[in-house]
Amino acid sequence: MNGSLFDRFGEYRRLKAAVLGFGIYGIVAILHWVTFASMVLLALVTLLSLHALRLLLTPPPPHSEPLPPEAVEWPAFSLLVAAKNEEAVIANLVRNLCELDYPAERLEVWVIDDNSSDRTAEVLTECQKGYPQLNVLRRGGDAKGGKSGALNQVLPLTKGEIIGVFDADAQIAADALRAIAPCSSALA
């Protein structure tokens, strides 16, 4: 990472907030103990006023056009769904997740059939024919851990930089992944 120490310090928001908080607390404590407190306050007010003037007089940066979507390197998403006896809703969710407005090569969908006793397995087999990004893992009757066990079992198989977990009856807006993808970090 290039840049000065001050530039890198700017990335640590919590550390900056803590340093600022302790700094303000220290200044207030010192003002209670020193006899020349009015001079210190005058110096602080002067510094803050100069900084405010600098902010007000600095011209805004020139407007730049946003990059086209194809120029952005979108992060890879792995979307996980643990499903047990979800025959009635699983096809709609798979369709919803696989047809999201997001680059298909940066998206994988994992549905874990947690030993369903209804037609969930058959519905998922049909869905796999139409959606190459759909991966199905079937767990046997001896599998332990319920929903968390199912999700933990598939987690090592995922390739996404960002993991999303959904219930089988979820409804997701078509642009949800683009809205939450940290595109600004991909451009840096």
List all residues 6 or more positions away from 1 whose beta carbon is below 8 Å from its beta carbon.
8
Output 143-152 pairs: Cβ under 8 A, ≥24 positions apart.
143/114, 143/115, 146/114, 147/82, 147/84, 147/114, 150/82, 150/112, 150/114, 151/80, 151/82, 151/112
Q: What tens-digit pLDDT sequence spans the chain (188 residues)?
A: 455 555 555 567 778 888 888 888 887 787 777 777 777 778 888 998 898 888 888 887 776 666 566 666 889 999 999 999 999 999 999 999 999 999 888 999 999 999 899 999 999 999 999 999 999 999 988 888 889 999 999 999 999 999 999 999 999 999 999 888 865 444 44
CATH level 2 (architecture), domain 69-175+182-187: Alpha-Beta Complex (3.90)
Q: Domain limits of the chain? A: 5-57, 69-175+182-187
